Amino acid sequence: MKKVVVKYKLKNHDDFETKMNEVDVDFGSMYWQHDRIYVPKNYKPGANFPRLVMRTEMKAIDRPARYELILKRHIVDSGADIVDATVVRDYVEAVNIIQQLGFKQLAEVSKKRRSSSIGETMIYLDSVDGVPGYYIKMEAPIKENDKIDSLRTDLVETLESIDDQNTRVEEPYFVTLNDNFDK
């Protein structure tokens, strides 16, 4: 699936959530996600290389964890993200396969997340372990005739119409967590 993603660091989490509620966007219950990010051994940031993400997701303490293998690829020229995901039953076996394919672990990211949607657009409210503050992230699917720049502009305008005090963020969470990461 092709997506456009925009992300902002929130200046004031409570004010933003109040403004979202005023436009009938209600975030659900909080859940936990832990991502291990794997990249090819010759990985270079900004070079359109794929990333594999092994995600553990816990929606409730009385339910088993969900494991998912996600292939992500950001196409710098177009600004689109290509994302494919599949549920994994055996986490350890999936990680062994990733490593045997020559991928190396680059980072780990844990976050507490709440989500909502407007039509097909997903909206996430994230608190990332090790990073102060909150983030809002919107993901919209790219359809066959969509213009990526227009879609991104629509997402930005939507978020900024709700609250224009936030700071746009371009890099993934694992870059934010690692000050030494070579952008």
62-86 pLDDT, tens digit each: 999 999 999 999 887 788 999 999 9
Cα separation values, 50 from 38, 40, 44, 167, Å: 9, 8, 10, 27
pLDDT at 183: 44
100 φ/ψ angles, rounded to the nearest 5 degrees: -70, -25
Beta carbons within 10 angstroms of residue 82's beta carbon: 16
**Burial bucket for residue 162 (CB in 10 Å: 0-12, 13-18, 19+):** middle
Query: How do strand 103-118 and strand 80-88 relate by DSSP bridges?
Result: unpaired
CATH 2.130.10.10 matches 2-177: no
Q: What is the pTM of this model?
A: 0.89
- Using 50, 70 and 90 to split pLDDT, how confident is the model at 180? very low
Q: Is the pLDDT of residue 119 over 60?
A: yes
Q: Is the pLDDT of residue 170 over 90?
A: no
Mean pLDDT, the chain, rounded, equals: 91
